[in-house]
Structure 1
Amino acid sequence: MEEFLPANLRLLCSHYRSVAEVCRKIRINRGQFNKYLCGNSIPTAFNLKRICDFFGVEEFEITLPTAQFISLIGANARRVRPVETATAAQSMLEHLRQKSSPELMAHTGYYYEYYHAMTEPGSILCALVHVREDGSDVVYERNERLQIAGSEGEFERYRYVGIAYYLRDRLFLIDYESLTSNEVSQTILIPSFKSCITRLNGLKIGVSAADHRAPACSRVVWEYLGQEINRIDAYRRVRLYDVDDPAIDEDLRSRLSQTKVVDGLFVIA
């Protein structure tokens, strides 16, 4: 396998626009896949089956001598999936993926997100965010909940899903509300250049979930929790807080203090 697999795998990948596209479609880590292409590592039995199933070849075929494999593929060209024509939107996302720095991987994990609530002026909202690898992409899920006025212990829940890029020393995160699909928001963070991530500062732009749907922006702070957490315990903190609530420490309050309200819109002071 070690002798012929890399060349055979490169041949199969040549039927696609890029290795990144193959990794995305197979949903396999690009760094690991590159090791297979270079012969620095061999796939596990599980990953080998995924690769072979995707390309439409048998596991014993992909390890054949390359000349024999080329002859086999040439005789059965239809077994290798044809190159698909990318839409304009797909090309844009692929361009951003290619430009995104690998340093983004250092920022995967769980975070609390704090920002001035766009629906409840004068309040700070704490959300739970999970940033993770998904094939060659870095995606994230953000969960919010807002207390329902007059209903003790009842909440409105919001779930956002999105994709992240690291471009020119800034983290760009774009998501949409997956339960209603009625809004898109963007967050820009200044990454941590320290060996240990604690809190990241940035800006969030979106719209209020209230009926008036007012555009808004706010300072935002992400607090790193770790790669693995107790999600049930962490979720208990997800809610609205008064600005002077003891749960909002002075450092958080200071980082968020440059946001103010003007004519119903949040702007940076």
Structure 2
Amino acid sequence: MTQPTDPSDRTAAFAANLRLLCERRGSISQICRKVGINRQQFNKYLSGRHMPSSGNIRIIANYFGLSPEVLFAEHDHFRALVDGNFFDVLDHLRRAPQVVRFLDTVAVSGKTDIGDYVGCYDRYQYSSIYSRKILRSAFCIFQNGDFLNHYYIERFPSYDDPSRTEYIFKYHGFTFPVDDRVFSIDFETVQRNEFTFGIYSSVQRNSKRFMFGIVSGVAATMFRQPFSTRAVLHYRRPGLLSRAELQATTTLDMNDPSIPREAREYLGESPDMIKPA
């Protein structure tokens, strides 16, 4: 997901994203009352005739539970996040008393700059579905208020026709840097039946940035066994995921040359997938 750089394109993206959020949140009059912005002025934001001040952008972002940068994402990808019920689900989770206590504890315990982790990554791991294949997914960490959220997309080609996509899975969740480790917890938002947990350690190799770790997942169906495996996050650039990165998600042969050498070495020569007997 990318953010436009041209001022007119940024204004248009902001307006389209704001209209989409308003469609799902209720009447515009009610939104204006809650954010304290004049309805006539708010209509100019919705139509793209005027860009809000930085202060009003923060007010609008806080109302919808987002960071200001997310509001400027390309509209097609922004819609994909909203249509996946990502924002609403995370908003409800963040307000749950148990989650609030947990997040407060993490915020106090963390000693790292969360800005060091935001951006786009290629994620590599052995597939729990396609035997002896390495799954490359598109992974993004972004700041949402005082916390980090992430989302990633997995795509699996058809066995019979590799040019056709057989499965698409979308995960959304929280990222917690604590001391020298990064913890993640997320849920799958297409079938809505799987939780995944991860723990990573950040490593700098020459000019490349990696996070090496372990991920575990469990689904509410006997057709998909719980699993645990090694995983690698390879940092690519700042910002949100682009269409090109989403299209590059697939399963790869173990020795595919596009896989970074560091990732292949960490994953090993044979799948180390741990599953129940």
Mapped to 2, the partners of 1:210 and 1:119 lie a distance apart of 14
Is the partner of 1:46 in helix, strand or coil? Answer: helix
Q: CA RMSD in A?
A: 3.4
Over 3 Å off, 4+ runs: 47-54, 192-197, 207-211, 258-262
Tell me how far 1:253 sits from its aligned partner.
Answer: 1.4
Q: CA 1:234–1:53 in structure 2 vs 1: closer, same or farther (change >3 Å)?
A: closer
Mapped to 1, the partners of 2:264 and 2:152 lie a distance apart of 21
Counterpart in the other structure of 1:129: 139
**What letter corresponds to residue 116 of structure 1 in structure 2?**
Y
> CA contact under 8 A between 2:124 and 2:135: conserved in structure 1?
yes
Tell me how far 1:86 sits from its aligned partner.
Answer: 6.4
Counterpart in the other structure of 2:233: 222
Mapped to 2, the partners of 1:259 and 1:168 lie a distance apart of 31
Is the partner of 2:234 in helix, strand or coil? Answer: strand
The unaligned stretches of length 5 or more in structure 1 are 1-25, 27-42, 55-84
Q: CA 1:251–1:191 in structure 2 vs 1: closer, same or farther (change >3 Å)?
A: closer
Could you say which structure has the higher helix fraction? 2
Q: CA 1:164–1:86 in structure 2 vs 1: closer, same or farther (change >3 Å)?
A: closer
Counterpart in the other structure of 2:121: 111
Mapped to 2, the partners of 1:44 and 1:93 lie a distance apart of 27
**What letter corresponds to residue 92 of structure 1 in structure 2?**
F
**What letter corresponds to residue 91 of structure 1 in structure 2?**
R
1:20-99 equivalences in 2 (<5 Å): 44-46=54-56, 87-99=97-109
Give the TM-score normalised by structure 2.
0.60
1:1-269 equivalences in 2 (<5 Å): 44-46=54-56, 87-155=97-165, 156-192=167-203, 198-207=209-218, 212-228=223-239, 231-257=242-268, 260-261=271-272, 265=275
What is the CA deviation profile of residues 217-260 of structure 1, one whole-angstrom value per residue up to 9, with x for unaligned ones? 11111111110477122223210011122323433211110764
> CA contact under 8 A between 2:62 and 2:145: conserved in structure 1?
no
Q: CA 1:163–1:52 in structure 2 vs 1: closer, same or farther (change >3 Å)?
A: closer
> CA contact under 8 A between 1:118 and 1:209: conserved in structure 2?
no
The unaligned stretches of length 5 or more in structure 2 are 1-34, 36-52, 65-94
Stretch of structure 1 that moved more, 89-98 or 145-154: 89-98
Q: CA 1:95–1:117 in structure 2 vs 1: closer, same or farther (change >3 Å)?
A: same
Looking at CA atoms only, which structure, 1 or 2, has the larger radius of gyration? Answer: 1
What is the CA deviation profile of residues 107-160 of structure 1, one whole-angstrom value per residue up to 9, with x for unaligned ones? 110000000111112110000011000111110111110112213422111110
What is the CA deviation profile of residues 25-48 of structure 1, one whole-angstrom value per residue up to 9, with x for unaligned ones? x9xxxxxxxxxxxxxxxx944258
Is the partner of 1:121 in helix, strand or coil? Answer: coil
> CA contact under 8 A between 1:204 and 1:218: conserved in structure 2?
yes
